[in-house]
Structure 1
Amino acid sequence: MTPSTSAPRKKFSVPSSKQDELLSAQVAYFMHLEEAKLSKKDKIKRFFWNPKDQSIFGRSPSSWSKIGLFYLIFYGILAALVAICMWVFFQTLDPRIPKWRLERSIIGTNPGLGFRPMPLETNVESSLIWFQGSNKTNYMKWVNNLMGFLEKYYVPGKAEKGTATIKRCSFTQYPQENEVCDFDVRLWGPCSPDKYFEYHRNAPCIFLKLNRIYGWVPEYFNDTNNLPKEMPKQLVDHIRLNVSQHELNTVWISCEGENPADVEYLGPITYYPKIQGFPGYYYPYKNAEGYLSPLVAVQFLRPVAGIVINIECKAWAHNIKHKRTDKVGSVHFELLID
């Protein structure tokens, strides 16, 4: 009897992909167990530095180096593109000549009139100049306020230095292309710092300036027979009687009380320089280095104390329109002396 032969056993083999899955699951299971054993403090430490795989913040050093290199190249190219665009943009601009001028600009062609000293109150809308002539501590605040504005007129070194030549101009000697006009502070007479701008005598000096507009040229009222009807009589008489023919190219200045009562309370007014305006040789404004805007000092000789006096000052030229609501061509402020 022949022994029976049994069939060979088949070997059971797990596919390699299945083995990998099982191995991964096993590793993940034991890692989870290990993670569960860690305290919160240890987890935080291992996040910053894992000694097993030498990772920092969950990434290996090689991974961090690749990311760093990528962002270095990316932001470097971005910065270069921005720099090139800015360079091309600035090639189209002149640092001293605005691209949009006169009618094409936001400012337009109608300059505003400003005054100094500016009110000391924190309210930017305030236009009240209120002081006590008998109190030096009080009126010195206004004197110092004025000196802060006038410092570059009294100290030439404070003015911007440049290639332009500063010269003493006149109605017969206008500045040339690379010249700017000097300003003689002696023309302000008693409105000077050594006399405290007359605030201690209750006869304060207010300084007026015309806002700068690049390239703007005044159209002067230089015909004594063709002065506007609304021009104050005092200014009309001044132009006709006290101004010579070659001085007529001037932007005239006038100051008055706004109401009949204000006119009475304001009293007599004196202007410095005596020409009562901004001489034409300061125009047009070309944004030249060292340029100083012409100023007119207005002294109120005997204003009534204890009363708020409303004052309006105007600049006069054919191409200066007066619009109180838009604050162009004129300026309003109040004066109160205790």
Structure 2
Amino acid sequence: MVKHGEKKVDKEYVFVFPQKPEPKTWRQIIWDEEERKFFGRTKQSWFYLFLFYGVYFIILFAVFWGCMEGLFRTVNDQYPYYQQADSLIGVNPGLGVRPLPQNPKKPAIIHFKPGGYNAESDYWVTQLNEFLQPYYNTSILPGEGKNHVKCEHGMQPPPESVCSVDTKQFGPCNPDNKYGYNSTQPCVFLKLNRIYGWEPVYYDDVNELPENMPHDLVEYIKSLPVEDRKQLWVSCNGVYPADQEAVGIFRYYPSRGIPSSFYPYTNTKGYLSPLIAIQFTKSKRKQNMFVECRAWAKNIKYHGGSRLRMGSVLFSMLIE
């Protein structure tokens, strides 16, 4: 208490700079006996550290496990959880062509110079050899191709078996002939994309053929026996009038259709997509020909053009 007449004197505060701790030896860093610390932490500090990270990783693992469990409940090795209309692929299969350039630096055109060995023609032959390898060597397939059976028209393979693709029916479109890329009669191969459980609705009645179906395909279908008409049909033609004149005549091997024996696709091991080989004959040289090939079935929607193409494939061929 300050008495009357006395003055209050403020206390003086002196700031003391922190002193640099004395360096510790390696033994003290590992175990400081004076402060009872192991690697700079007390037993209680280490306990809380391990408790925090233990709980953290348990929660992290539980969240990860829950996500993976939810994912694998929608995944099946045999069939997709979402099929056809419920899937992103949908119910309209696309048509593919081989060979296609795998090198992005190469243009999207089949361009080669026939006659003898050259890098251009050899490039396309190599692509086809790689694509057709499982067709000519079924031993590399799951099950080594032992479940492949020969299917006649309309015949469905036995359970756990698939129809074989007879490469001998590709005619001149074979490796020994370099698929025609050593001459002026090259070959391309068409295949339909796989959709689990999908089956074509066939144009097997000649009275129900669409009006825009090519005349040569109509005549071909009419020439077949009724029992052989249950097929998915394929046609190819030039896109523009100049292309239609330049492409010449197409030959189809083994035929112009894919038999119903290959459908529906059920992901049976060793399954090979059926192929149709298209050979260019009497085509003009030194002219870039735009070709469109189309698949024909009642449940395949068609849309041409360069965008939103459906049920068909577009490619170009240039023979030097």
Structure 1 and Structure 2 fold alike (TM over 0.5)? yes
Please state if 1:247 is matched with 2:233: no
Structure that is richer in helix per residue? 1
In 2, the alpha carbon distance for the partners of 1:162 and 1:129 equals 33
The SS at the match of 1:200 is coil
Q: Is the 8 A contact 2:171 2:253 kept in 1?
A: yes
* Deviation readout 1:236-295 (Å, 9 max, x if unpaired): 111112x2221111111111011111111111110001x212111101111111111000
Residue 67 of structure 1: aligned partner:
49
Q: Is the 8 A contact 1:164 1:178 kept in 2?
A: no
Residue 259 of structure 1: aligned partner:
240
Q: Give the 3 Å change call, closer, same or farther, for CA 57–132 of structure 1 in structure 2.
A: farther
In 2, the alpha carbon distance for the partners of 1:249 and 1:142 equals 33
- Out of 167, 177, 191, the position equivalent to 1:185 is 167
Please give the residue correspondences for 1:263-278 in structure 2 after superposition, counting only pairs within 5 Å.
Answer: 263-273=244-254, 275-278=255-258
Please state if 1:104 is matched with 2:90: no
- Out of 262, 286, 289, the position equivalent to 1:282 is 262
Q: Which moved more, 1:243-252 or 1:155-164?
A: 155-164
Residue 168 of structure 1: aligned partner:
150
How far off its partner does 1:210 sit?
Answer: 0.5
- Out of 273, 288, 295, the position equivalent to 1:315 is 295
Residue 203 of structure 1: aligned partner:
185
Please state if 1:129 is matched with 2:115: no
Q: Which moved more, 1:205-214 or 1:68-77?
A: 68-77
Q: Give the 3 Å change call, closer, same or farther, for CA 94–259 of structure 1 in structure 2.
A: same
- Amino acid in structure 2 at the alignment position of 1:330: S
Please state if 1:34 is matched with 2:15: no
Q: Is the 8 A contact 2:154 2:230 kept in 1?
A: no
How far off its partner does 1:78 sit?
Answer: 3.3
Q: Give the 3 Å change call, closer, same or farther, for CA 61–336 of structure 1 in structure 2.
A: farther
How far off its partner does 1:311 sit?
Answer: 0.4
How far off its partner does 1:180 sit?
Answer: 1.1
Structure 1, unpaired ranges of 5+ = 1-24
In 1, the alpha carbon distance for the partners of 2:217 and 2:105 equals 33
Please state if 1:302 is matched with 2:288: no
Q: Give the 3 Å change call, closer, same or farther, for CA 144–65 of structure 1 in structure 2.
A: farther
Q: Which moved more, 1:104-113 or 1:49-58?
A: 49-58
In 1, the alpha carbon distance for the partners of 2:235 and 2:143 equals 33
Please state if 1:223 is matched with 2:205: yes
Q: Is the 8 A contact 2:154 2:260 kept in 1?
A: no
Q: Is the 8 A contact 1:143 1:196 kept in 2?
A: yes
How far off its partner does 1:222 sit?
Answer: 0.4
How far off its partner does 1:75 sit?
Answer: 0.9
Structure 2, unpaired ranges of 5+ = 1-12
* Deviation readout 1:79-110 (Å, 9 max, x if unpaired): 14532553355245422211221222221111
Q: Give the 3 Å change call, closer, same or farther, for CA 61–148 of structure 1 in structure 2.
A: farther
Q: Is the 8 A contact 2:198 2:265 kept in 1?
A: yes
State TM-score, norm by structure 1: 0.80
* Deviation readout 1:42-84 (Å, 9 max, x if unpaired): 79x9xx8796757677544663454135313431353145325
The SS at the match of 2:92 is coil
Say how many residue pairs are matched.
303
Q: Is the 8 A contact 1:220 1:250 kept in 2?
A: yes
How far off its partner does 1:132 sit?
Answer: 1.4
- Amino acid in structure 1 at the alignment position of 2:233: W
In 2, the alpha carbon distance for the partners of 1:179 and 1:155 equals 17
In 2, the alpha carbon distance for the partners of 1:147 and 1:58 equals 66
- Amino acid in structure 1 at the alignment position of 2:65: A
Residue 116 of structure 1: aligned partner:
98
- Amino acid in structure 1 at the alignment position of 2:318: L
Q: Which has the larger radius of gyration?
A: 1
